[in-house]
Amino acid sequence: MFKYFSPKFTISTEEIFFALKNSTWQAGTAAFIVTVLSIPMSQGLMALGSKTRSWVEKLLMLPQIFPALYSILIIFSLVNPFPMGTYGIILVFCVINLGFATLLTLWSTENKMGRMALISEVYGIGRLRFLSRIYFPALKADLWVNFFIIFIFCFSSFSVPLMVGGGRGLNLEVLIYEKIFVEHNWNMAVTLGFLQTLLIFFLSVLIFREQRRPKEVFVKGRYLVSFTGLVFVLVYLLLYIGGYLRGVTTSLAQVPFLFMYIWDLAAATSFTLKTVLLFLLMNGVLLILWLLDFIQRGRFNSAVHMISVSTVVTGFAFYLIFPVSADFDQTKIIFGMSVLLFPALFKLFLQKPIENLSHQINIAKALGISKRVIISEIIFRQLKTRLLAWASFLVLWLSSDYAIVKSLGIQTQTLGMISAGFLSSYRLALSYLISFYILVFWVLVMVLVYTAVKVIYVVYKKFAL
């Protein structure tokens, strides 16, 4: 792919500036809005009991870890007419990232505030004075970090602008896509994509670098509790979850029309199932290789910071590597999605829990226990739930994706492409039904995978003994 890389620009600087300005404006505005809203919403979570709060936190993660297809569907059905273009992109970005930003601010508050809220309450300095003199100065750096995390996610997004850009929301990812597949200006596309990926990678390394801080004992004070923020949290979850359930139930009347596409759906299901199983196998191999490297070196490699890379450039790389033939569609999807999804989901679900096992791993190494036993008996046995969650979202993302598949130049229909096709033609009811079908498919695949893993583990233990 690097033979297409050249620093010589062959398009106007006006075109580049327009796309870069839109990308920065869309990502910056969305990141600013959700960072500001995350402050009262994080304080709203403080009003909940520990068990209730734990469940609400999991629900708040859904818009972030579920594919963008679901958020776009919900917003299309709730906002009518939908503002296609830049403002529509910003709206979708806000919905997707608001829950995650709220949790980031909550975790920063618990990490930084310690007993300061309680002490301020005892001295009666007042809520406004506490917020202006203590809370915001203490969290200023963390809020900036949270802002840039959301900025990176939005800046590198392709699925949202592709679906809701409407021609007026051109951004850098869409420009790269057009240079590749419309104008065939590969030199310019690779140049822009390489620079964008480099920028995102170094920003990610800077933001996620390890920060050693003394552990503060957090004590919740009344100044950190906001019932107005709790209302925001409940409204947000009600609109998201309730909006999707309402969309599915109102679409059930369209089920007879879905039978018109039954053969397309069957072919897409078969193709997606085979691809998912091979994709999980490859990611399982990648996981073991990363774990072997971690056990050997005591830390993860720099690729763990690749949480958000250019979808279009990654897709284009595998588009060039493999022949343009339906026979290679499966291979392109497996490799392309592994590059894009494995580091991000690994960081989200597995990195920190595995690092927390470092002490046990070091003791096992000192006792001469093999790496195979360390992986199976220390890591896999203690992180079964995390591993299942990691694998399940790999399956869900592959099953419902349309943007990565499009950037790979795939000719075979997938479940995600069918749903996105209905959505782009405003047949929301059919798109809702396919999206729900994908959720059922997801559950059934995970039951199959879980059963297979249990059988393999029993056989492994039998022969290991």
Residue 316, pLDDT score: 81
Rounded to whole angstroms, how far apart are CA atoms 242 and 47? 22
Rounded to whole angstroms, how far apart are CA atoms 277 and 279? 5
Q: Is the pLDDT of residue 285 over 90?
A: yes
* DSSP calls for 400-455: H--HHHHHTT--S--HHHHHHHHHHTT-HHHHHHHHHHHHHHHHHHHHHHHHHHHH
Q: How confident is the model at residue 168 (pLDDT cuts 50, 70, 90)?
A: low
79-95: average pLDDT: 90
Q: How confident is the model at residue 172 (pLDDT cuts 50, 70, 90)?
A: confident
Residue 430, pLDDT score: 93
CA torsion through residues 315, 317, 320, 321, sign: negative
Q: Is the pLDDT of residue 27 over 60?
A: yes
Phi/psi of residue 212, nearest 5 degrees:
-85, 120
The tokens describing 17, both together, are 């500036």
- Residue-wise pLDDT for 89-138, tens only, equals 999 999 999 999 999 999 888 888 877 877 777 777 888 888 888 888 88
Q: Is the pLDDT of residue 455 over 90?
A: no
Longest dimension (CA), the chain: 72
404-413: average pLDDT: 86
Q: How confident is the model at residue 85 (pLDDT cuts 50, 70, 90)?
A: confident
Phi/psi of residue 67, nearest 5 degrees:
-55, 155
More confident residue, 305 or 376: 376
187-210: average pLDDT: 72
The tokens describing 15, both together, are 């075109």
Task: With CA atoms as reference, report the closest residue to 278 among 312, 329, 234, 211.
Answer: 329
CA torsion through residues 173, 176, 178, 181, sign: negative
Q: Which of 51-65, 127-141, 189-203, 341-355 has the lowest mean pLDDT?
A: 189-203
Residue 322, pLDDT score: 86
Q: Which of 111-125, 225-239, 301-315 has the lowest mean pLDDT?
A: 301-315
> Around 165, how many Cα atoms within 13 Å sit in the side-chain half-sphere?
20
List all residues 6 or more positions away from 214 whose beta carbon is below 8 Å from its beta carbon.
none
Task: With CA atoms as reference, report the closest residue to 219 among 103, 105, 121, 117.
Answer: 117
| Mean pLDDT over each residue of the chain, to the nearest integer | 85
Q: What percent of the chain has pLDDT over 70?
A: 91
End-to-end CA distance of the chain: 48
Residue 376, pLDDT score: 86
24-37: average pLDDT: 95
* DSSP calls for 44-65: HHTTS-HHHHHHHHHHHTHHHH
Q: Is the pLDDT of residue 210 over 60?
A: no
- Residue-wise pLDDT for 427-454, tens only, equals 899 999 999 999 999 999 999 998 988 8
- Residue-wise pLDDT for 286-302, tens only, equals 999 989 988 988 888 76
The tokens describing 454, both together, are 């249990």
Q: Which of 75-79, 268-272, 306-310, 374-378 has the lowest mean pLDDT?
A: 306-310
Q: What percent of the chain has pLDDT over 90?
A: 40
Rounded to whole angstroms, how far apart are CA atoms 70 and 61? 13
Whose structure tokens read 């009991």? Answer: 49
